[in-house]
């Protein structure tokens, strides 16, 4: 049996405002269902980005009651019937309209990560890895690029001027994946993480891991190990001695 719920949804561009709606909710629905019902019945011009409605495309990222979430994976049953549910766009990125933001910053940062570089003497089909290495990178490959981790990261969320120097957890995750790949021969990925991607600006609060819909342990399994590798290659006195000797 359905019920009427109270929603507050951001409408307009940066100078817009929250508007109130009362809309029917049925059993088993998610927040994206409600947004679609609003479009069909009360707000036909409401802008929202979505695609698969199955939690795998990462398109419908927004903030629900201030927390970065996927609209299609947030069940209405998690809220009480008398609760006011507020839906706003991701705060970290420039607002286009309503719930749609400009996430091109992320694609710029993606292009700055050097691609996987396999051994020159191996042909496709000749790559061999131990199962433990396959399993380690498999967690990182679950990323659906919803950019919720980027949205919640306070380094760029609260400091717009950090965006040029800091790539954010999603792309430091990618650097960590490649650095841990036993067949990747690109040099100095830890140094790239430190210098080009601003790894030192991350203070491992784990907020990125907390909002990841794929439950990737971004901080514990990627960012902290990457920081440890930076410390080893850059500050270990023995490695520094051999590096200077080589130079």
Render pLDDT for 16-55 as a digit per residue (tens, 0 to 9).
999 999 999 999 999 999 999 999 999 999 999 999 999 9
Task: Give yes or no for a contact between 14 and 89, defined as CB atoms under 8 angstroms apart.
Answer: no
The pLDDT assigned to 242 comes to 61
Q: Cα separation of 51 and 57, whole Å?
A: 7
- Please, which pLDDT band fits residue 205 given cuts at 50, 70 and 90? very high
- Please, which pLDDT band fits residue 247 given cuts at 50, 70 and 90? low
- Please, which pLDDT band fits residue 196 given cuts at 50, 70 and 90? very high
Give the pLDDT mean for 161-185.
96
pLDDT in tens, 223-239: 999 999 999 877 777 66
Give the pLDDT mean for 181-191.
90
The pLDDT assigned to 133 comes to 87
Contacting residues for 130 by C-beta, under 8 A, at least 6 apart = 182
User: What is this structure's pTM?
Assistant: 0.91
The pLDDT assigned to 124 comes to 85
Cβ neighbour number for residue 7 with a 10 Å cutoff: 20
The rounded mean pLDDT for the chain is 94
pLDDT in tens, 91-139: 999 999 999 999 999 999 999 999 999 999 998 889 999 998 888 889 9
Nearest CA to 177 out of 135, 140, 209 is that of 140
Q: Cα separation of 159 and 107, whole Å?
A: 19
């Amino acid at each position: 049996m359905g019920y009427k719920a109270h929603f507050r949804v951001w409408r307009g561009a940066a100078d817009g405002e929250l508007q109130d709606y009362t809309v029917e909710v049925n059993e088993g629905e998610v927040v994206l269902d409600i947004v679609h019902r609003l479009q069909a019945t009360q707000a036909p011009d409401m802008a929202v980005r979505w695609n698969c409605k199955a939690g795998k495309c990462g398109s419908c990222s927004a903030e629900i009651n201030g927390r970065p979430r996927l609209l299609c994976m947030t069940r209405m049953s998690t809220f009480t019937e008398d609760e006011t549910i507020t839906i706003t766009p991701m705060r970290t990125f420039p607002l286009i309209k309503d719930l749609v933001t400009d996430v091109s910053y992320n694609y710029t940062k993606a292009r700055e990560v050097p691609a996987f570089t396999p051994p020159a003497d191996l042909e496709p089909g000749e790559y061999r890895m131990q199962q433990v290495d396959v399993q380690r990178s498999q967690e990182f490959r679950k990323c659906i690029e919803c950019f919720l981790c980027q949205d919640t990261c306070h380094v760029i969320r609260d400091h717009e001027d950090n965006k040029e120097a800091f790539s954010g957890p999603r792309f430091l995750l990618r650097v960590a994946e490649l650095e841990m790949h036993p067949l990747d021969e690109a040099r100095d990925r830890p140094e790239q993480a430190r210098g080009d991607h601003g790894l030192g600006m991350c203070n491992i609060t784990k907020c990125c891991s907390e909002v990841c819909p794929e439950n990737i342990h971004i901080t514990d399994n990627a960012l902290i190990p990457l920081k440890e590798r930076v410390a080893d290659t850059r500050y270990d006195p023995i490695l520094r001695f051999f590096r200077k000797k080589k130079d």
